[in-house]
Every structure is written in C-alpha cells, then in structure tokens.
C-alpha cells in the first residue's frame, strides 16, 4: 500500500526549463496566425471554421512542435477520428452523460490504435455532442480548421533556424 501511495508524490524530477525567448516568440506568432486565420475564415464564409479545442491544438503544434501529439497525422486525423466517434455516438445514444463518456473513451482508444493521439481531440466528441452537430461538422470546422493549423505550423515552425516541423507525417 505504501508503494502505491508514494506514486502520488511524483518522482522528484525538476520542472522543465523555461523555453528560450525565441521559442516562445515563434510559438506566440504561430498561435496568433493560426487562430486569427481560422477566425477570419469563419467571418468571411459566415460559417463555423472554429472550435475551442483548436486553441489547445495550437499549444502542441507551436509550443511543443516535436511532440508526437503535435505531428500532422495526430493533429488532423486525431480530430477527424474523434469527431466521427462523436457523431456516431450522438446518432446512436444521444447526448447524455454516459454517451459523452463512451465517446471520449472510444476516441482515445481509436487514436491510440491508429497512432494519431492528439490530446485536444479528446474534447472534439464533446463539442459534437454539445452542439448537436451534423455530418458536415467533419469538414467544417474539423478538417478545415485542422488544416489551417497544420499549414501555419509548417510555415512558422520552419521559419526559425532552431525549429523544425514535422518530425514525421
């Protein structure tokens, strides 16, 4: 029992170092451009190109671009898989507490199986269910918004000599 309880104390590792000012600046520029571009597209098209989990996607793509969770396959396919799961569960079970749990858990499992784990996509099925989204949600905002983040990520993360994105597709 004592060994189990000591897990909650952590391993005693130090907190990570503060990133360089350059890294912070490039992360800021990338997130600014990606979110502004998605919001601008929404305004221009009069359609929803935006969903809240994209803010968290920007944390990964611009803040920790070398993370497996930030790679293009995880960003785009993670959100698509999670949205598809949300739509199927919404269709079959409706939007209730149990269905929301099933949708998020299933999305995580499928992202793990497909090597597309993207933490912000864990919220995507909840957005689908709370919005009562239809199948068009897969294209707008999910695919379109994820692609905007990806394109901005490819450009801004590679403008710096000290950054490179992606690690893999």
**Domain of residue 46, residue span:** 21-159
Average pLDDT, the chain: 95
Q: Under a CB-based contact definition with an 8 Å cutoff, are residues 61 and 70 in contact?
A: yes
Q: What is the pLDDT of residue 146?
A: 98
Exposure b/e, 35-55, CB count within 10 A at least 16 = b: bebbeebbeeeeebbbbebbe
Query: Is 125 contained in some domain?
Result: yes
- Residue 61 reports pLDDT greater than 80: yes
Name the percent of the chain lying above pLDDT 90.
Answer: 85
Query: Is 153 contained in some domain?
Result: yes
Query: Is 166 contained in some domain?
Result: no
Q: What is the pLDDT of residue 45?
A: 87
Rounded CA-CA distance 154/132 in Å is 32
- Residue 49 reports pLDDT greater than 90: no
* Mean pLDDT along residues 140-159: 97
- Residue 2 reports pLDDT greater than 80: no
Q: How many domains does the chain have?
A: 1
- For residues 151 and 48, the model is more confident at 151
| pLDDT tens digits for range 84-133 | 999 999 999 999 999 999 999 999 999 999 999 999 999 999 999 999 99
Query: Is 93 contained in some domain?
Result: yes
Query: Is 113 contained in some domain?
Result: yes
| pTM higher than the cut 0.85 | yes
- Residue 10 reports pLDDT greater than 90: no
- Residue 16 reports pLDDT greater than 80: yes
Name the percent of the chain lying above pLDDT 70.
Answer: 100
Query: Is 81 contained in some domain?
Result: yes
Query: Is 11 contained in some domain?
Result: no
- For residues 3 and 165, the model is more confident at 165
Exposure b/e, 60-75, CB count within 10 A at least 16 = b: bbbbebeeebbbbbbb
Query: Is 164 contained in some domain?
Result: no
pLDDT band at residue 6 using 50, 70 and 90 as cut-offs: confident
């Amino acid at each position: 029992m004592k060994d189990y309880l000591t897990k909650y104390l952590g391993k005693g590792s130090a907190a990570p170092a503060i990133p360089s000012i350059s890294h912070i600046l490039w992360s800021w520029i990338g997130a600014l451009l990606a979110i502004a571009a998605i919001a601008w597209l929404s305004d221009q098209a009069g359609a929803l190109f935006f969903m809240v989990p994209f803010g968290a996607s920007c944390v990964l793509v611009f803040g920790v671009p070398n993370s497996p969770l930030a790679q293009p396959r995880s960003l785009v396919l993670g959100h698509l898989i999670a949205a598809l799961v949300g739509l199927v569960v919404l269709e079959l079970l409706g939007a209730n507490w149990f269905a929301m749990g099933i949708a998020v858990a299933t999305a995580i499992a499928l992202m793990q199986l497909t090597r597309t784990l993207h933490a912000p996509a864990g919220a995507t099925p909840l957005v689908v269910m709370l919005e009562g989204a239809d199948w068009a949600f897969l294209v707008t905002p999910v695919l379109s918004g994820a692609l905007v983040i990806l394109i901005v990520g490819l450009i801004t993360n590679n403008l710096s000599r000290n950054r490179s994105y992606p690690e893999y597709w």
